[in-house]
Structures are given as C-alpha cells and as structure tokens.
Structure 1
Amino acid sequence: MVMHTYTFHVEESETGDGLDVDVYDEDGTIEASTWIGYEDYRVTAGDGDTETSETTFSADVMTLDLQVERDDGGFLVRVLGDAETLASERIADEEWGLSAE
C-alpha cells in the first residue's frame, strides 16, 4: 500500500451556524466531510473572528471517517483511518467564541 498525505481542515461555516470539517487528499479532493450544527449541541456562536484549524498528516489506509464528541467545554473531532485515530482537533468553546446554552 502507499502512504498518502491528507489535510484535516476545520472552520466555522459561512452562515456561522456550525463547523465545517473536511479531510482533503493531496489533489484537494474531499475524502471525508461533516458539518457540526451548533443548534444540535445547544451551542451559540459569539461575535468576532472565527478560528480555522489545519493539520497535515500521512497515512496508509483504506477508509477515512470523522468522529465528533461534545463535552462541557468544546468539541473533539477525530480523523479515523481504518478505525484508528490519525489526527484530532479540540475545538474549545472559549477559543472559538462559542457558548453553551
């Protein structure tokens, strides 16, 4: 099998009502994607600039998937490759200007 390089990208959606989470391959093709709706988690966005997070990693995998968890202070988003964690990003409410209802 061959190692591939991926980019894990998290940013607030254009409408400001959630987070867009994408994993791109080397050619810029989306390999995995999800949207995290703030309303689904009883979270609201504050005013001001939003963060963007980008992480690059390499892996030799057959499948990619995204997993989202919510705790008291934020989201934890993981990229899974063949069911193993390849990359993760903690989206802390305080850093991203989010507040729980």
Structure 2
Amino acid sequence: MTPDPATLRRLTDLVETRRDALPAIDVNDRASYARHREAALQVFKDLEKEGARWRNDFDFAGARLSLGGVTATSTMGPAMAMANWLVGARRRIRELQAGERA
C-alpha cells in the first residue's frame, strides 16, 4: 500500500534527518566505519516503528529498506540504502501529486 504524499513527506523528513545525523566516517580511523554502520543499523531498527522492513547482509555489504510502499537497496550498506530510498520516495511523491492533478 502506498501512503498519501503527506505521509511520504513525513517519512522522507524522518529518514533524511536520521541519515544526516549518522557519525562521519574518518578514513584515518577504522573504528569510525563500525560506528557509522552500527548507527545506520539502529536507524533501520527505529524505522520499524514506522512499518519499515529491512535487511543487512554483511557478506556483500548489501542492505534493503522498505518503508511507505517504497523499497531501495544498496551494496554499499545501510546509509546508502537510505539515500536510495529517499530518491525513490521523492519520485513516488511526485507521481502521486501528478495523479492528483490529472
């Protein structure tokens, strides 16, 4: 089920805010990668309260996020899956708004 544009906008604001707050990766600090990954996984877990389904497969660093009728994946990990989800959600909002005008 696809939610209305207002619900998708609320979800995009939430995902974008949480993704932007992830700890930075410092190429000179290997531990920063783990902190970033763990924080991103916590965002996925927190998004379950909004109905999200997700997976993260460390074998190939792939991640999948489904939320609000939009699904996105990334082989670069959960933070990039969130970025890809934002692109898809914004596209869906535009499609829904265009349908409302038709």
Q: TM-score, normalised by structure 2?
A: 0.33
TM-score scaled by length of structure 1: 0.33
Structure with greater helix share of residues: 2
Which has more strand, going by share of residues? 1
